[in-house]
Amino acid sequence: MPNNAHVAIVGNLIKDPVKTTYNNSPVVSFTVAVSTTMRSEDGQWLPNFYNVSVWGQTGENLMEKIEKGTQVYVTGALMLQKYEKNGVEGQSLQIRASAVTPLSRLKGGQYNNNHGNYNRRSNNNNNNDEDAVMDTGDSVRPF
């Protein structure tokens, strides 16, 4: 069993998701703001921000449904990412999502009445894009 920390968060997208490609595989990334119980000196709530990535066809399907402001429930593995910016090396935490459920309005102002769950299900622990499904709670329908 992999030694990954699994997390679950609920928060709102702070901007529209962005699609990139890594090794010919699509990756959709977005940042989620999560409320905390901490306040600044002037009494403002201080949110935590989490970078989330969703790989493959699942990410592409999700990108069509969410936008800035959408509330989402995200579960996945917490990953440490190394980067270099302006010659300075750094590290950041990122959630590699295994499931994302939109909880509020969807792209275009529609509401998610069935609470569709965008997740990756894999057979024999492979990560083929054919395994991407949307779980509506009533049935499983491939895209």
Q: Average of pLDDT values for 19-42? A: 92
The structure's pTM equals 0.71
Answer with the residue of higher pLDDT: 115 or 40.
40
Most confident of the ranges 3-7, 48-52, 90-94: 48-52
- What pLDDT does residue 122 have? 40
Cβ-contact 8, 73 below 8 angstroms: yes
For the chain, give every domain's residue range. 5-142
pLDDT at residue 68 greater than cutoff 60 = yes
Architecture of the 5-142 domain: Beta Barrel (2.40)
- Residue 113: band (very low, low, confident or very high) from pLDDT cuts 50, 70, 90: low
